[in-house]
Structure 1
Amino acid sequence: MSRIEPIAVTLITEPGRLLALDGDTALLRLPANSGHGHEDGGQCIACAMRTDVRALLFDMLEGAKQGLRPAFSKVVVDASAVKDVSVVIAALTGKLPAQALRDHTVARMFYLAGAA
């Protein structure tokens, strides 16, 4: 059984700082408040699912395994529209408690390589 290498995640926190991406880098954009009437950081189920970086990374990984999306070896997460990126950083560094088994998979398969 071969060991799978962890996937580096670069977090973009400032607008206009998006780097040029090569062919094996996936881009994940986290949206700002969807306009549901609550402030950024307020929780509703729809907004929580759209900005749950661990769930989104897991979906990307599964899509690549199933051939539904191109394979990737790096990920750039554009969180420049997110008001409080500390939650995203906490999710990527294992500081948030796991909410589902997929969160353990993401913790094993992805690591925060840097932020810009």
Structure 2
Amino acid sequence: MDVSPEYSIHLLLEKQFCIDNRLLVDYLCKKNDFIMQLEKKLKVFGGVPLTHSTLLSILGEYRSPNDKIVRLIADGLLLPIKKGLYAVSPEITGIPLHCRWWLIL
């Protein structure tokens, strides 16, 4: 069976598109899984404030954990209390801010 060059190119592009899509889906699934693992680690702390060094140990797998802390704050997953002290968002812990004892002190 003789196939035209245009059709061959079309098949190659279609195959490459499927491979690229599979890679993208794999990447997004792994990234989502990693985020879920991070949220689990943060949820363990509940309403207890976290120090910067604690966060660095949790985020040790990242190349630049300080940048990740900044992104977590920007995304609303971490709330800065004061320099070097953070609270995990009620979105993750399920504990409303008004129920946290250390905010009263």
With normalisation by structure 2, the TM-score equals 0.27
Greater share of helix residues, 1 or 2?
2
Please identify the structure whose Cα radius of gyration is greater.
2
With normalisation by structure 1, the TM-score equals 0.26
Higher-RCO chain (CA-CA 8 Å, sequence separation at least 6): 1
Greater share of strand residues, 1 or 2?
1
